[in-house]
Amino acid sequence: VLSRATLPLTLRADASGALTSDGAVLDDAALAVALAGVFGEGQQPSLRAVAIVVPPDSARENDVGIRTRVIAAAVAAKAWVVPVFVLE
């Protein structure tokens, strides 16, 4: 059975693929810090997934780059997490 869940961290992507958290644009280092703070060593989130909210008119090709960037940041942060894309 699948049911809707609130994920422990939500990031927003714009049409260009830039990621933001609380309105601040995240570079790679800031993304790694954000992921480590929720999913890193010593953290015990209820779910190990980060929501990536994307606008409906965003090119789906951007998703690949976003996913690659999130996974690379997770590796750098030693955070076990997967991105889940959510249409706005």
In the chain, where the domains are located:
9-87
* Residue 69 tokens, joined: 């960037």
Q: Tell me, what's the pLDDT at 2?
A: 83
Model-level pTM? 0.92
Is residue 48 very low, low, confident or very high in pLDDT (cuts 50, 70, 90)?
very high
DSSP code per residue over 23-56: TEEP-HHHHHHHHHHHHSTT---SS-EEEEEE-T
pLDDT at 1 over 90: no
Report the SS3 class of residue 67. Answer: helix
List phi, psi (to 5°) of 83: -80, 140
b/e for 28-55, b at 16 or more Cβ within 10 A? eeebbbbbbebbbeeeebeebbbbbebe
